[in-house]
Amino acid sequence: MSETGYFSPNTLAEALDLLDKYRVRAVIVNGGTDIVEKISNGTVDPEAIVYIQAISELKIITETKAFINIGGAATYKDVLSSALCKQFAALEQAVWEIGSPPIRVVGTPAGNLGTAVPAADCNVALMALGAEVLLSSKAGKRTLKLTELFVGNGQTALKDNELIEEIRIPITGVNAASAFVKLARRKAQDIAQLSVAVSLTVEGDTCRYW
């Protein structure tokens, strides 16, 4: 393993400066539940590790007119504790399936989206809820649907100087409901063999889904 620099920026601007400088030679560490293992076994050998959990502006969960916005460094525990996220049953059900309580304290939805792990429970729920991501770099911001973000197994449309600033889930209203179920070989702390999520909105006699 080559010498690796460790950086813990305090602002989004500082993080984007680092990503712009190191580009493909940098990795973002958020909760670290996926990427740290890859660094440890030599699958990934970065020149710079950019740890973003100290960036307070990325840890908040807010509501705008059309979306619930989950910051790129908000943890699974933050999601479970947020009153704003309670309206998305599929998301809450998926988060409860993720690892153990210690993992939910450090792991993040944005981190799983960024690594594009096929068996990531939260990713399935977020896709069913019609979520999108706000991506940021020094060049500016852009928004992608999750169907556009994932391009293959472990592959995303993220550029090498971008990070996920926030996840945006559309607010669907009182006539909407969602659910998530997971099939695994055992009940606790196991990778899914199959995960299914659905989000439905009833309009008169019509049932619409994402």
User: 195 and 182 in contact (C-beta within 8 Å)?
Assistant: yes
Supply the angle between the helices 121-128 and 89-96 in degrees, to the nearest 10: 180
User: 45 and 22 in contact (C-beta within 8 Å)?
Assistant: no
Q: Write out the two tokens for 71.
A: 């910051």
| Res. 33: pLDDT tops 80 | no
C-alpha pair distances (Å), 103 with each of 72, 134, 184: 16, 24, 18
pTM above 0.85, yes or no: yes
Q: What is the per-residue pLDDT across 135-177, written as a single tens digit (0 to 9) for each?
A: 999 999 999 999 999 998 889 999 999 999 999 999 987 788 9
Q: Report strand pairing: 61-63 vs 48-51.
A: unpaired
Q: Identify which of 191, 8, 11 has the alpha carbon closest to the alpha carbon of residue 103.
A: 191
CATH topology of domain 60-209: 3.30.465
Q: Chain-centre distance of CA 180, in angstroms?
A: 17
Main-chain phi, psi angles of 45, to 5 degrees: -130, 80
Q: Would you report the helix, strand and coil content of the chain in percent, each value rounded to 5?
A: 30, 30, 35
| Res. 91: pLDDT tops 60 | yes
Domain ranges of the chain: 60-209
Alpha helices in 83-187 (DSSP H): 89-96, 101-106, 109-115, 121-128, 146-149
Q: What is the per-residue pLDDT across 42-83, written as a single tens digit (0 to 9) for each?
A: 777 889 999 999 999 999 999 999 999 999 999 999 999 999
Q: How confident is the model at residue 16 (pLDDT cuts 50, 70, 90)?
A: very high
pLDDT of residue 44: 78
Q: What is the per-residue pLDDT across 101-140, written as a single tens digit (0 to 9) for each?
A: 888 999 999 999 998 887 788 899 999 999 999 999 999 9
Cα end-to-end distance, the chain, whole Å: 44
Q: Identify which of 80, 187, 191, 172 has the alpha carbon closest to the alpha carbon of residue 128.
A: 172
∠ Cα 148 192 146 (to 5°): 10
Q: Which residue has the tokens 């493909």?
A: 24
| Res. 189: pLDDT tops 80 | no
